[in-house]
Structure 1
Amino acid sequence: MRRWGTAAAALVLAAAGLTATAASATAATATATATATKANTRAEACATAWGSGDKTADVTAYTPLTNIRTGRHDCYDRMVIDTRAAGGNKVGYQVRYVDKVYQDGSGTAIPVGGGAVLEVRVAAPSYDPETGAATYPGRAGKPLPGVNISGYRTFKDTRFVGSFEGDTQIGLGVRARLPFRVLQLPDRLVIDVAHTWSTAR
């Protein structure tokens, strides 16, 4: 009787073990499926077809630059250039990848860190064209004042290059040559640089 009881107990324990193993496998499969679904959803939401070619807009009206700020997003890092544009006016720009950024007027090369460098040129001087008074406290070759990009996935460095004959130049160091877009709004210019080529997780 004792042997039969021991054998029966062993069978019960084995069955319980198989049930627990099956439950664990089911839970693992469900978790993997949920993770894959979430990743696919995010990939679709963050698909970037912006390309990395030059982006420009010719606008002859010059409006003073007042501030430059940055922000982190799920799919990209963002730079916003605020201006005094009013009445629906927009600001001209040229944004492109370069090997080096050379300061207008002097031709001085401004070092910018990162795996790739975007030169941002905007038709917004850092001074008031009417009075010559400074409207933005940027200093040539120095990081953008008030901008902290610590912990950003894409942005690696920022440099104020200079303001010459109505144009302001900015050097934006990024992790690699990645897709970017430029959004032109009435009182600001928005530059988004993706975290990766196909998706930005």
Structure 2
Amino acid sequence: MKKIQVWLAAVLLAVGMALVAPGAASAEPYCGLVWGSLSKADPAMSQARVTNVRTGQHYCFDRLVIDLSGTVAGYNVRYVPQVTQGGSGFAVPLRGQAFLQVTVNSPAYDDTGSATYNPPDKNELSNVTGYQTFRQVAWAGSFEGYTDLGLGVRARLPFRVFTLEGPDAGTRLVVDVAHFW
């Protein structure tokens, strides 16, 4: 009888350990994201005009959206030691531990030089208070057909860049920055 009790206790202990033991470590990337943090660019030029800048929060990333009046044709998004203004080269101060220079190969002015996007506060294009990754979105200017923005983030994290159709006849340049690696 004692052998059966010892055997039963051993089986119950083994089953109990299997239930509480941690599983194998997952090699899956955060939220399935495999974007990386290297520069992303398309050298084409566009006749579209920048008309708006906005941000949003998602479960796995924070999103920057740049609205254009026509088809997005080119961009350059990269981590830099310091974001600078086109033309002058002046530094754009940003909150955060890492900085993305977002360049859209489209102006923020029309053929007469009138602004198509004129932010009320060039230091805070969008309120990103409470965002997990974004720390600040700032205007870095529009010069000779290129529009620059500075994106301060909490760390050098993976990001992706892509375009979307709409609204109406316009398009959007989208920059998503992951919350984690």
What is residue 105 of structure 1 aligned with on the other side? Answer: 87
What is residue 179 of structure 2 aligned with on the other side? Answer: 195
Task: Output the CA distance in 2 between the equivalents of 1:73 and 1:93.
Answer: 23
The 3 A distance-change label for structure 1 pair 141 and 148 is closer
State the TM-score, normalizing by the size of structure 2.
0.78
1:58-79: CA deviations, max 9, x gaps? 2222311000000000000000
What is residue 116 of structure 1 aligned with on the other side? Answer: 98
What is residue 20 of structure 1 aligned with on the other side? Answer: none
Task: Output the CA distance in 1 between the equivalents of 2:52 and 2:61.
Answer: 20
Deviation at 1:166, TM superposition (A): 0.6
What is residue 58 of structure 2 aligned with on the other side? Answer: 73
Deviation at 1:106, TM superposition (A): 1.0
Does 2:123 align with 1:142? Answer: yes
Determine if contact 1:76/1:193 at 8 Å carries over to the other structure: yes
What is residue 156 of structure 1 aligned with on the other side? Answer: 135
The 3 A distance-change label for structure 1 pair 45 and 195 is closer
Question: Kindly, what percent of the aligned residue pairs are identical?
Answer: 49
The amino acid across from 1:152 in the alignment is Y
What is residue 181 of structure 1 aligned with on the other side? Answer: 160
Task: Output the CA distance in 1 between the equivalents of 2:120 and 2:146.
Answer: 15
Where does structure 1 lack aligned partners over 5 or more consecutive residues? 1-25
Deviation at 1:140, TM superposition (A): 8.7
The amino acid across from 2:35 in the alignment is W
The amino acid across from 1:137 in the alignment is N
Determine if contact 1:160/1:169 at 8 Å carries over to the other structure: yes
* RMSD over equivalenced CA pairs, Å: 2.2
What is residue 113 of structure 2 aligned with on the other side? Answer: 132
Deviation at 1:138, TM superposition (A): 2.9
Deviation at 1:141, TM superposition (A): 5.4
The amino acid across from 2:128 in the alignment is I
The 3 A distance-change label for structure 1 pair 115 and 65 is same
The amino acid across from 1:71 in the alignment is G
The 3 A distance-change label for structure 1 pair 101 and 141 is farther
Deviation at 1:163, TM superposition (A): 0.4
The amino acid across from 1:76 in the alignment is F
- In the alignment, which of 74, 94, 111 is matched to residue 92 of structure 1? 74
1:70-104: CA deviations, max 9, x gaps? 0000000000000001xxx3331000000011211
Task: Output the CA distance in 2 between the equivalents of 1:140 and 1:119.
Answer: 18
What is residue 10 of structure 2 aligned with on the other side? Answer: none
The 3 A distance-change label for structure 1 pair 141 and 109 is farther
Determine if contact 2:54/2:64 at 8 Å carries over to the other structure: yes
Where does structure 2 lack aligned partners over 5 or more consecutive residues? 1-15, 166-170
